[in-house]
Amino acid sequence: MKITFLGHASLQIEINNIFIIVDPFISANEKAKHININSLKADYILLTHAHQDHILDAEVIAKNTGAKIVSNFEIITYYEKLGIKGNPMNHGGSWQFDFGRLTMTNAIHSSSFPDGSYGGNPAGFILETNEGNIYIAGDTALNMDMKLIPLQCKLDLAVLPIGDNFTMGIESAIIASDFVTCNKILAYHFDTFGYIEINHQNAKENFKAKHKELIILEIGESITL
């Protein structure tokens, strides 16, 4: 499994030549100008919620690639009206895809489309595959529901927001990693805007002090599980 950071909360996950894009906000991100959305491969697009900084490039990528969008019912309904196919889900539900089993988890946040219309409930995803299991938290506060995740599967990686203000910050993310019993954390949702800028070295040292590994990738950089 290859995971590439595309900036902000955007990821590309490659599993056995199947490509998944998560929350594509790339074209308007000044820090991700070197990423060409028209060259991205995608078979699926996972959307955690409807905020613009998570869905901005979903329509273009889906129409370029024929990718299927996976999200909550309201978001899928929105994109189906644009002629884009989707797989609707809701909290606690799972579905077996060709890349693995996907479960939608709770997230404590808000969700509305750029025009202010209702975007359904925000969510995260657990992805279980033959190449490893990952938890993509989405935009969320620390919450006790995270303790349910290790009862379902053993994680190899937790992708957690650490930028604070709009989501968990570093201290809460450390507790979240305890809740999901995963000591390997990929950071996202940081640095894009002034409100969520972080000190990278300080963040890594805080996680290391708790015997955890915090991975902070440059935009376009990848890790392999």
pLDDT in tens, 55-110: 999 999 999 999 999 999 999 999 999 999 999 999 999 999 999 999 999 999 99
Q: What is the largest CA-CA distance in the chain?
A: 49
Chain segment 112-144, per-residue pLDDT in tens: 999 999 999 999 999 999 999 999 999 999 999
Question: In angstroms, rounded to a whole number, what is the distance separating the alpha carbons of residues 106 and 190?
Answer: 21
Token pair of 135 as six digits: 């938890």
Continuous segment of H or E residues that includes residue 73: helix 73-80
pLDDT score of 63: 98
pLDDT score of 33: 96
Q: What single-letter amino acid sits at 15?
A: I
Percent of the chain with pLDDT over 90: 100
pLDDT class of 149 with cuts at 50, 70, 90: very high
Average pLDDT over residues 35-52: 98
pLDDT class of 197 with cuts at 50, 70, 90: very high
pLDDT score of 173: 98
pLDDT score of 11: 98
Question: In angstroms, rounded to a whole number, what is the distance separating the alpha carbons of residues 186 and 159?
Answer: 5
Count Cβ atoms below 10 Å from residue 57 Cβ, excluding itself. 24
